[in-house]
Amino acid sequence: MNTQIQTAPSRYTPEEERLIIRNSHGVPVGIKPHQKWTPRSIALWAVITALGVLGWWMLAIARGERVNTIWFIVTAVCTYAIGYRFYALYIQRTIMQPDDSNATPAERINNGRDFDPTHRVVLYGHHFAAIAGAGPLVGPVLAAQMGYLPGTLWIILGVVVAGAVQDMLVLFFSMRRGGRSLGQMATDEIGRIGGTVATIVVLVMLMIVLAVLAMVCVNALAESPWGVFSVGCTIPIAVCMGLWLRFIQPGRITLVSIVGFLILIGVIIGGRWVAESSLGEHLHLSPTTLVWCMIIYGFLAAVLPVWVLLTPRDYLSTFMKVGTIVVLAAGIIIVRPVVEMAAVSEFALNTEGPVFAGKLFPFLFITIACGALSGMHATVSSGTSPKMIQKESQVRMIGYAGMLMESFVAIMALAAAVSLSPGIYFSMNTSAATMDSLAGPTVVASASSREEVATEAVGNLGVTDAHGESLEPTWDSWDENGDPKTYKGEEALKQVASDVGEPSIISRTGGAPTLSVGMSHILHQIGGGRTMMGFWYHFAIMFEALFILSAVDAVTRVARFQLGDALGNVWHRFRDPSWHVGAWATTGVVVAAWGSLLLMGVTDPRGGIQTLYPLFGIANQLIAAIALLLCLVMTVRKGHLRYAWIPAIPLVFDTVVTFTASWQKIFSTDARVGYFQQWRNARELVTTLSDPEAIAVQRAIIRNTMIQGTLSIAFLVMVAFVMVCACVTMVKTVRTRDTTTSEDPYQESNFYAPGQMIASALEKKLVKEYEEVGDPALIPGRSPARTGH
Amino acid sequence: MVMPMVSANRKQSVDPKPGESAGVLLRFRIRLAHARALWRDFTGESAYDRYVERHRRDHPDHEPMSAREWWRAKADFDDANVQARCC
């Protein structure tokens, strides 16, 4: 091999040759870390920094009455670029120190199945598709009640120092350990007991996450025949796609997906007609009915073979995911709507917010979980992605930049929500019970419609919009003659509903309907005008529902296998995947776990989003705490005590946030916040009541707050226990200076691929050389790109 | 180490030889082929072709599975190996 290379020495300059890492056969496997500042790159980074500073200035300091949402995009992109180029690289050079002469698990094992060296661009897409879902779309919308600025700051800065760091470090540590899962790594690093508790906590928290996601979906579809029809149609469409791929044309994924996608679009368009026909009445489903549909769907999707439903539905949702994000970004850039929400609203400082209760600290940081910091990502970063990565130096691009993209989605969702009239925003996101108490009993009794109650209620909220005026729903649309007209108050709320093709938009909590109205508000201006508003609304509802359904079925299935594995320790037969009774039993347990929480949330008299969403946020951020803690332990055990602050900063912040939030949820005497205060109040109230209906409501509150409060306590205690175990390990490590690692032993790499999304000139030369001298098992035979699934 | 014959043959059909003027059209076609390959990898459509390529190289003594058989085997594997999705 060496002779071959020497016959073509002209390829590299001597300077370049010095940078190349070659293995013992002389095959190039990587490039040494190097950086060269040229006038051009200095100028480029100066411009990016200046633009970023200008963006922050416009959003945070200048503000004014007309802040354009384009500044969200500019500020986010510039800050991400700086974070990626400087902070992520710093972490790469200090903690991770990737060694491209070391083979990754994908190269070592390369079994053509799960361990498969995958082209970095493809893996980026896979990783992003796996981490991004409805979370980054819903959280920012709910947090918009505090104004646009707190959410923006947390999403952009949080991802740079917390979320992306967590994803990248977990991905790196898992890759160095053969793609082991979070739970397995916890057992290895902090012992069997701590690891087992961590695994159980994560599993239980996943159930809450699923319940809340499913609730968002149910709230979006309840009383909406058009939505039920179009989302319901995804199931037969997916099954047909599955049958087609199984029996007619195996492997024709793109063709089948495009046909499925086109049918889906047809279904969304045809939905209005179906909803208005006599069939529409039967699709007018109550939330409880939808919960049962969801439970049955989750059960079937988890026990049926994946080719029937799960895989083809995943193709559809990936298509929608990529399509919608591109469309939304284009919409915001072209339309550039103006922010209508105040920068910081009064709800940031009091607990009276109608969307969720609690002050900015700590509740903003648990409401916006995905998009800034999300513990659930650790399950993907320690799942399939580390088994597919080609080179160690690609971890930054996959882990860090993948999360930046998710954060960008969250920023766009926030931009769409805050460009709506705040009057409409609060009318949609205030639960019916809260709205009644805001409007007062006399208005509720005399009002002719819910729209009238809502207009009165948002006027009484006591907050102002971007122009400093009190809230009044405002909506630009067209009158019957097709002339542009600005509707105000009650009229505006009715006009929104008729424009998007819904019976009503009042109290459509959960964030998804609000985002959909926001998207349709932006997108109808570039495509189709008024006639397309309904389409864009239901297009947005559809893609959020698809995200949620794909999380519900995949996570149910994953949890079922985990449960089966755990039970297998006691009764071996549970490990046998072909034992149907075991599969059904474990699936039943998993579905019952999230299904009962979902039912509780949907029937909650105080509005499920308001009571259950904080629990979801806390659960997600506690998983993040466990993941960051593991990163800290592994950093210390690697001997990098000096750089322990990198995972420690987000860990400490996240711990303070989650523990304060849990503490307030448990001990607060403010009935809007504390679960047990609500419980006490309801218990007192129930003795004074005589109306059986009112008693039933209070009984439900007593039961629900007790369950939620108990869960909060259990999480807090278990996570605190894991933290103590981890601290013991770290102290031991520091004392004994024992840096025995659980990393896999070094194995020489025989493979080369560039480390960044866009290959540099030198990287391209190395790719060329590798194609001539490299291992044919790792060289793509049919394209310049290496590999997929 | 074996020379990658497949790769070398294939590359000649796409890449221009040094010195040959690379027309805009040709360059566009290379880009398009690259994008298509990435897309096929992303959707997983190329998985069977890659299996066949690999099988021919590693086990030239017997025939690979047919497309139908292979996709069924893959579905069976996927049944127990689901990728977790996030929120």
Please give the full DSSP string across A412-453, using - where no structure is assigned: HHHHHHHTS-HHHHHHHHS-HHHHHHHH-HHHHHH-SSHHHH
Show residues of chain A in contact with B34, CB under 8 Å: 783-785
Q: How many CB pairs under 8 A join A and B?
A: 171
Compute the average pLDDT of residues A406-425. 96
Give the DSSP letter of residue A392: G
- Cβ–Cβ contact B56 with A under 8 A: no
**Has residue A699 got a pLDDT over 90?**
yes
Give A362-371 pLDDT, tens digit per residue: 999 999 998 9
Note the pLDDT of residue B81: 86
Which tops the pLDDT comparison, A319 or A509? A509
Average pLDDT for A641-663: 97
Q: Distances from the Cα of A283 to the Cαs of A226, A286, A497, A550, A683, in angstroms?
A: 8, 9, 18, 22, 38
Once rounded to an integer, what is the mean pLDDT over residues A288-316? 94
Residues 6 or more apart whose CB falls under 8 angstroms from that of A559 comprise A203, A206, A207, A590
Q: How much is the pLDDT for A112?
A: 85
% pLDDT > 90, chain A: 81
CB contact under 8 A, A558 and B11: no
Q: Do B87 and A776 touch (CB under 8 A)?
A: no
Would you put residue A48 in left (φ > 0), alpha (ψ -120 to 50) or beta? alpha
Q: What is the pLDDT of residues A223-262, one digit of tens each?
A: 899 999 999 999 999 999 999 999 999 999 999 999 999 9
Instruction: For residue A526, give the amino acid letter.
Output: I
Q: Which helix (H) or strand (E) holds A108?
A: helix A105-109
Task: Give the pLDDT of residue B22.
Answer: 61
N-term to C-term CA, chain A = 31
Contact partners, residue A246, CB within 8 Å, separation at least 6? A307, B71, B72, B75
**Lowest mean pLDDT across A10-14, A262-266, A277-281:** A10-14
Per-residue confidence band for A578, with pLDDT thresholds at 50, 70 and 90:
confident
Q: Which residues are A470's β-sheet partners?
A: A464
Confidence band (pLDDT; 50, 70, 90) for B12? very low
Q: How many Å apart are CA A171 and CA A533, to the nearest integer? A: 41
Indicate the helix (H) or strand (E) that contains A302.
Answer: helix A287-303
pLDDT number for residue A500: 94
What's the rounded Cα separation, in Å, for the pair A577 and A565? 10
Residue pLDDT, tens place only, A95-129:
999 999 999 999 999 988 899 999 999 999 999 99
Looking at the complex, report in whole angstroms how far the Cα of residue B49 sits from the nearest Cα belonging to chain A. Answer: 9
Q: Using an 8 Å Cβ cutoff, are A670 and A686 in contact? A: no
Å from B61 to nearest chain A CA? 17
- Shortest Cα distance from A92 to chain B (angstroms)? 25
State residue A4's pLDDT score. 47
Largest CA distance in chain B: 52
**For A773, nearest residue in chain B (alpha carbons):** B3
Question: Taking CB atoms and an 8 Å cutoff, what residues of chain B touch A561?
Answer: 80, 82
Nearest-by-Cβ selection for B86 from A253, A370, A772: A370
What is the per-residue pLDDT for A784?
Answer: 38
- DSSP, collapsed to helix, strand or coil, labels residue A317 as helix
**B75: nearest CB among A122, A305, A379:** A305
**Pick from A133, A311, A781: which is nearest to B85 by CB?**
A133
* Mean pLDDT for the stretch of residues A659-687: 95
Does the pLDDT of residue A772 top 90, yes or no? no
Residues of chain A found within 8 Å of residue B83, distances taken between Cβ atoms:
130, 380, 383-384, 554
Per-domain residue ranges of chain B:
24-79
- The answer to whether A777 contacts B71, with C-beta atoms less than 8 Å apart, is no
Average pLDDT, chain A: 92
Q: Write down the pLDDT at residue A679.
A: 95
Confidence of residue A323 (pLDDT cuts 50, 70, 90): confident
- Residue A333 near residue A73 (C-beta atoms within 8 A): yes
- Residues A612-639: pLDDT tens digits? 899 999 999 999 999 999 999 999 988 8
Nearest CA-CA partner of A154 in A86, A64, A66, A60: A60
Residue ranges of B 13-52 with Cβ closer than 8 A to chain A? 14, 30, 33-34, 37-51
- Is the pLDDT at B21 greater than 70? The verdict is no
CA distance A134 to chain B (A): 6
Smallest Cβ–Cβ distance between B41 and the set A122, A130, A550 belongs to A122
CA distance A752 to chain B (A): 15
For residue B80, the model assigns a pLDDT of 84
Higher pLDDT, A321 or A51: A51
Place of tokens 């930054």: A396
Distance between CA atoms of A471 and A468, rounded to whole angstroms?
Answer: 9
- Token pair in block for residue A94: 């200090």
pLDDT higher than 70, residue A181: yes
The string of pLDDT tens digits covering residues B36-84 is 999 999 999 999 999 998 898 889 999 999 999 999 999 999 988 888 7
Distance CA A151, CA A342 (A): 12
